[in-house]
C-alpha cells in the first residue's frame, strides 16, 4: 500500500470535468496548512511547472483496465488506458504542465491546469528544459484530433 497526502488543492471557477477549453480558466494552487510558503520559494523563476494530481471525482467503478474508444468515438481506434490521458485510469492520477502566472505566499497562480476546483494536488515540480523530450515527439493523427479544442476556449 502506498499512502500519499495532498500537498495542495486546486481553486478554480471550473467545477465540472468538461473535456475541452482548459486554457480559458486560470487556476490557483493553494498549499495545505502543514506546508509553509517557503515550499514555493524560487518556483516563480520558472515559466512552467508540472502538476501531479488525483482525479478525485472519477468513480472507482468507472476505471478502465483495458482498452476503449476515446470519448466513446468509434471513429478513433480502440486504445489501451496507458495510451491515453483520460481520468478513468487505474490510479486516477493526472499530470499537466502549466504556465506559472505568479505566486502569492502559499498560492501559485497558473494557466492550463486541466483539474477542477477542489482537486487534490500530489506534487509540484518545476519544468526544466533538460527533463523535456530529447528526441522528436510523435503521436498518431487521432491524438491531434482529440486535442483540437482541449486547451482553447471555454465550453460549458
Predicted confidence (pLDDT) per residue in 32-43, tens digit: 999 999 999 999
Fold (CATH) for 8-147: Elongation Factor Tu (Ef-tu); domain 3 (2.40.30)
| Domain definitions of the chain by residue range | 8-147
User: pTM value?
Assistant: 0.89
Q: 81-111: per-residue pLDDT in tens?
A: 998 888 889 999 999 999 999 999 999 999 9
Confidence check: pLDDT of 1 > 60: yes
pLDDT for 21: 65
Cell reading at 43 = 518556483
Closest residue by Cα to residue 40 from 101, 108, 113: 108
pLDDT for 116: 93
Count Cβ atoms within 10 A of the Cβ of residue 56 and give its class: 0-12 exposed, 13-18 middle, 19 or more buried.
middle
Confidence check: pLDDT of 126 > 50: yes
Confidence check: pLDDT of 155 > 60: no
pLDDT for 153: 57
Per-residue three-class SS string for 102-141: EEECCEEEEECCCCCCCCEEEEEEECCHHHCCCCCCCCCH
| 147 confidence band (pLDDT: 50, 70, 90) | confident
User: How much is the mean pLDDT over the chain?
Assistant: 90
Considering only 3-17, 60-74, 123-137, which range has the smallest mean pLDDT? Answer: 60-74
Amino acid at each position: 500500500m502506498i499512502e500519499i497526502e495532498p500537498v495542495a488543492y486546486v481553486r478554480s471557477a471550473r467545477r465540472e470535468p468538461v473535456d475541452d477549453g482548459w486554457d480559458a480558466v486560470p487556476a490557483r494552487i493553494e498549499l495545505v496548512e502543514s506546508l509553509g510558503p517557503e515550499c514555493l520559494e524560487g518556483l516563480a523563476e520558472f515559466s512552467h511547472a508540472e502538476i501531479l494530481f488525483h482525479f478525485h471525482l472519477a468513480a472507482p467503478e468507472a476505471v478502465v483496465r483495458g482498452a476503449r474508444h476515446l470519448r466513446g468515438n468509434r471513429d478513433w481506434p480502440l486504445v489501451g488506458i496507458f495510451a491515453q490521458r483520460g481520468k478513468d485510469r487505474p490510479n486516477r492520477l493526472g499530470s499537466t504542465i502549466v504556465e506559472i502566472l505568479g505566486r502569492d505566499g502559499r498560492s501559485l497562480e497558473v494557466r492550463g491546469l486541466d483539474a477542477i476546483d477542489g482537486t487534490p494536488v500530489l506534487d509540484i515540480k518545476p519544468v526544466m528544459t533538460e527533463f523535456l523530450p530529447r528526441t522528436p515527439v510523435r503521436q498518431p493523427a487521432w491524438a491531434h484530433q482529440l486535442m483540437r479544442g482541449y486547451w482553447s476556449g471555454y465550453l460549458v
